Structure 1
């Protein structure tokens, strides 16, 4: 009985690692699609606000909104992707990134370190 249970757990672990690989492939494909979608928008931009984000779905939604001109009456914007939390922190601290989608813990850490950051919204 114990042998079967151990064998079953090993199968579950293999299945989970396969799922993680698929998630990584999805994130890679999503970031590539986001980059491709934002190319025409970047080509048109002169002095637009640049919104930064991670290679995840909310950034894709921003890129689609930018491409379709959903906020053209308010303020046209451009979408860029940051590649790592280190790039995000460096960009926020040196002023290269004015607005970004960030993990809540990154915003809290920067605020607690005395950096001038403002939280606009929490997405659940």
Structure 2
């Protein structure tokens, strides 16, 4: 496996992992007001590739086990006798920060992929001369 294909493989695995991370962050944001919803997180794992090229892969989705927010709304159908119900444990500030971090990581991997492709193309042009 050439160094170009190793580089493309590593950056493609990063693109895939960050895309999945963004998908879970967007699910968290969409369900921020859903009663009983627990925030989803996704860890990344290093996957030993062939010929020395490592890659990143998303692990199993985990649910955040922090306490759910107690919301006071006696008119809500899920409210108990004290007028409270369990909301979600999604913090929109954290989710927006995670989304920005994932977006920037995705863009960095995309730039690496594009740079490798351009270098490979330039090398092929030199070899044709």
TM-score normalised per structure 1: 0.28
Larger radius of gyration: 2
Q: Report the structure, 1 or 2, having the larger helix content.
A: 1
